[in-house]
């Protein structure tokens, strides 16, 4: 066990069962009599329910898979590190992008339309999805090997994917359906040009560039916002198959890309990508010649040159494809302080869609799986659900606000102590520099002149209840308070006195009588 614990924070090793050899056991730890011969009623007789190991083994086998991703089902991946060698701190305070920072990361490359067993080299856009395990939580950039996309509004995404998948009638891919969709969706022209060109058939995933594709927001220490686009440029160079080569490889080795990456890392030939960004000052967005949030457009490198950030290297293979690649749950909604979304409608839709599919695909507690757990401590009020691996210490409240809370709720004096009050501090709140738009805020309900929480219950108490009802109310409250701690008792007197002084006094007297 100690071996397992010492590896708890290594993203590739954690979750690894201790190396147990020799006697196999059932899942309950009891020794298995035989893995080879099942129990029968006599040497020629049938199997029997008594052979629990047989049943358990077959039953677990039937449940070995999780549903495949709807898009991007076929993939492979690796782990490595992001090294930040330049200084972009003037644009973002995100810890992972501070000079000199080294951050462990995982990556999953994929094809979009094919199913889990489909050939890697079928012509397609290729996924380029990264997870950075930062001190402030997981940050995911879930991009592609192209800087743009087929559509610009998330409401069309299911239609787009349907058109690339299979016909309901016969389960076949269908060129007519694909071209019908593309040609009736002219915004797809930029991406289809990439797809039908050389980049639609990369030679290996080591030899392709990656892009965050969307416009994201960076926020610096001073709270200034910038728009940013990510570029990941392969130091191996960009190399593609011809159409004929790709088709031939699909027949020879459906897993060509997966095998290539695995073997390169295995032999110590670690692939590296330079990480660069284009930065747009927030104020430029309104008058830029293209809508900077439209995912079908790039920003000219002449207008916004690429700036160095650093590089990442892939130097570790997964220990287990299922646990670490199939079950990795990459999500554009995994953001960290200093980085936010933008008004890109596709990105907004994605912020919802990924976790939703992952709850279904893996289960609601997928975030607790070793590959999905952040390296920092998780402190959340979400708990329980199927396969809950963790539970809170019995002293930890499971609700907010509460009297132990620090940093994220209402204090005794009624102040909200959340850290997410001003933009840029919380990952999910961003400044919208678009004068036609509006800033996102976390603001309480707009207050009207008499919007005091205690005015109406006070009126109810004074003007509706008769003397007997007032006394019953006070005694009911005192009865319900039985068992409260001293500090909560004091809060109760404050609460009821705020409704009405007389009520507060009655509650106090009634509670004292019960002690």
- Considering CB under 6 A, how many residues would be counted as binding ligand HEM? 28
Binder of ligand HEM out of 103, 163, 358, 372 (CB under 6 A)? 358
Please tell me whether residue 330 binds ligand HEM under the rule CB under 6 A.
Answer: yes
List, in sequence order, every residue forming a beta bridge with 80; answer none if it has no partner.
105, 314
**Helix/strand/coil for 137:** strand
Question: Tokens for 90?
Answer: 């003037």
Please tell me whether residue 113 binds ligand HEM under the rule CB under 6 A.
Answer: no
Measured N-to-C along each axis, helices 157-164 and 175-183 cross at an angle, to the nearest 10 degrees, of 150
Binder of ligand HEM out of 346, 474, 492, 507 (CB under 6 A)? 346
Least distance in angstroms from the C-beta of 105 to ligand HEM:
13
- Please name the residues in contact with 426: beta carbons below 8 A apart, sequence gap of 6 or more: 337, 419, 420, 442
Long-range contact list for 508-514, CB < 8 A, 24+ apart?
A: 509/474, 510/474, 510/475, 510/477, 510/478, 511/478, 511/481, 513/478, 514/478, 514/479, 514/482
Reply yes or no on whether 72 is catalytic: yes
Query: Cβ-count burial of 74 within 10 angstroms (0-12 exposed, 13-18 middle, 19+ buried)?
Result: buried
Per-residue b or e along 407-421, where b marks 16 or more CB atoms closer than 10 Å to that residue's CB: eebeeeeeeeeeeee
Please tell me whether residue 329 binds ligand HEM under the rule CB under 6 A.
Answer: yes
Please tell me whether residue 75 binds ligand HEM under the rule CB under 6 A.
Answer: yes
Please tell me whether residue 350 binds ligand HEM under the rule CB under 6 A.
Answer: yes
**DSSP secondary structure letter of residue 438:** -
Q: In the stretch 278-317, what mask flags binding to ligand HEM with x, by CB under 6 A?
A: -----------------x----------------------
Please tell me whether residue 349 binds ligand HEM under the rule CB under 6 A.
Answer: yes
Question: Tokens for 223?
Answer: 């709270």
Reply yes or no on whether 126 is catalytic: no
**Helix/strand/coil for 111:** strand
What Rg, from alpha-carbon coordinates, does the chain have?
29
Least distance in angstroms from the C-beta of 102 to ligand HEM:
23
Question: Tokens for 158?
Answer: 């299911």
With contact defined as beta carbons under 8 Å apart, do 274 and 233 qualify? yes
Binder of ligand HEM out of 104, 106, 114, 127 (CB under 6 A)? 127
Least distance in angstroms from the C-beta of 488 to ligand HEM:
43
Q: In the stretch 400-429, what mask flags binding to ligand HEM with x, by CB under 6 A?
A: ------------------------------
Q: In Å, how far are 71, 113, 359 from 159, measured between CA atoms?
A: 12, 13, 22
Is 399 annotated to bind ligand? no
Question: Tokens for 375?
Answer: 């390296």
With contact defined as beta carbons under 8 Å apart, do 236 and 207 qualify? yes
Q: Choose the catalytic residue: 53, 138, 144, 365.
A: 144
CA quadruple 380, 384, 389, 390: dihedral sign: positive
Please tell me whether residue 213 binds ligand HEM under the rule CB under 6 A.
Answer: yes
Least distance in angstroms from the C-beta of 246 to ligand HEM:
19
- Cβ nearer to ligand HEM, comparing 124 with 260: 124
- Cβ nearer to ligand HEM, comparing 280 with 329: 329
Least distance in angstroms from the C-beta of 213 to ligand HEM:
4
Q: In whole angstroms, what is the distance from residue 271 CA to residue 286 CA?
A: 39
- Cβ nearer to ligand HEM, comparing 127 with 310: 127
Binder of ligand HEM out of 111, 144, 296, 298 (CB under 6 A)? 144
Binder of ligand HEM out of 132, 149, 227, 232 (CB under 6 A)? 149
Question: Which residues contact ligand HEM (rule: CB under 6 A)?
Answer: 69-72, 75, 108, 110, 127, 129, 142-144, 149, 154, 157, 213, 295, 328-330, 346, 349-350, 353-354, 357-358, 361
Task: Give the annotated binding-site residues for heme.
Answer: 354
What residues are annotated to the active site? Answer: 72, 144
């Amino acid at each position: 066990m100690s071996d397992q614990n010492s590896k708890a924070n290594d993203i590739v090793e954690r979750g690894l069962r201790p190396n147990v050899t020799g006697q196999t056991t059932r899942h309950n730890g009891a020794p298995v009599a035989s893995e080879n011969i099942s129990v029968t009623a006599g040497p020629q007789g049938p199997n029997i329910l008594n052979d629990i190991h047989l049943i358990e083994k077959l039953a677990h086998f039937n449940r070995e898979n999780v549903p495949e991703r709807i898009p991007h089902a076929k993939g492979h991946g690796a782990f490595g590190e992001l090294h930040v060698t330049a200084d972009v701190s003037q644009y973002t305070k995100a810890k992972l992008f501070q000079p000199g920072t080294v951050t462990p990361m995982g990556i999953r490359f994929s094809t979009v339309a094919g199913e889990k067993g489909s050939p890697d080299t079928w012509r397609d856009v290729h996924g380029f999805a990264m997870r950075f395990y930062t001190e402030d939580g997981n940050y995911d950039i879930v991009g592609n090997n192209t800087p743009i996309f087929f559509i610009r509004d998330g409401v069309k995404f299911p239609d787009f994917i349907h058109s690339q998948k299979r016909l309901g009638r016969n389960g076949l891919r269908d060129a007519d359906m694909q071209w019908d969709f593309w040609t009736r969706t002219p915004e797809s022209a930029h991406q289809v040009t990439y797809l039908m060109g050389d980049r639609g058939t990369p030679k290996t995933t080591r030899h392709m560039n990656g892009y965050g594709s969307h416009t994201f927001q960076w926020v610096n220490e001073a709270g200034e916002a910038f728009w940013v686009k990510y570029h990941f440029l392969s130091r191996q160079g960009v190399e593609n198959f011809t159409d004929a080569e790709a088709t031939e490889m699909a027949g020879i080795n459906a897993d060509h890309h997966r095998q290539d990456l695995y073997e390169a890392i295995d032999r110590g030939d670690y692939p590296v990508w330079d990480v660069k960004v284009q930065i747009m000052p927030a104020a430029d967005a309104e008058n830029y010649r293209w809508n900077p949030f439209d995912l079908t457009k790039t920003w000219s490198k002449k207008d916004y040159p690429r700036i160095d950030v650093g590089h990442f290297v892939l130097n570790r293979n997964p220990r287990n494809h299922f646990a670490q690649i199939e079950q990795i749950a990459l999500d554009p909604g995994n953001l960290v302080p200093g980085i936010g979304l933008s008004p890109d409608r596709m990105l907004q839709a994605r912020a919802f869609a990924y976790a939703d599919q992952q709850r279904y695909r893996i289960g609601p507690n997928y975030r607790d799986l070793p590959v999905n757990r952040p390296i920092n401590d998780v402190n959340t009020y979400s708990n329980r659900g199927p396969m809950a691996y963790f539970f809170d210490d019995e002293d930890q409240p499971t609700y907010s606000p509460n009297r132990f809370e620090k940093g994220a709720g209402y204090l005794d004096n009624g102040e909200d102590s959340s850290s997410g009050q001003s933009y840029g501090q919380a990952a999910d709140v961003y400044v919208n520099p678009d004068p036609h738009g509006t800033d996102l805020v976390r603001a309480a309900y707009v207050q009207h002149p008499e919007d005091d929480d205690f005015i109406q219950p006070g009126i109810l108490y004074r003007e509706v209840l008769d003397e007997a009802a007032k006394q019953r109310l006070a005694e009911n409250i005192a009865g319900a308070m039985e068992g409260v701690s001293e500090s909560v008792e004091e809060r109760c007197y404050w609460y009821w006195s705020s409704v009405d002084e007389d009520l507060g006094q009655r509650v106090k007297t009634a509670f004292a009588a019960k002690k």
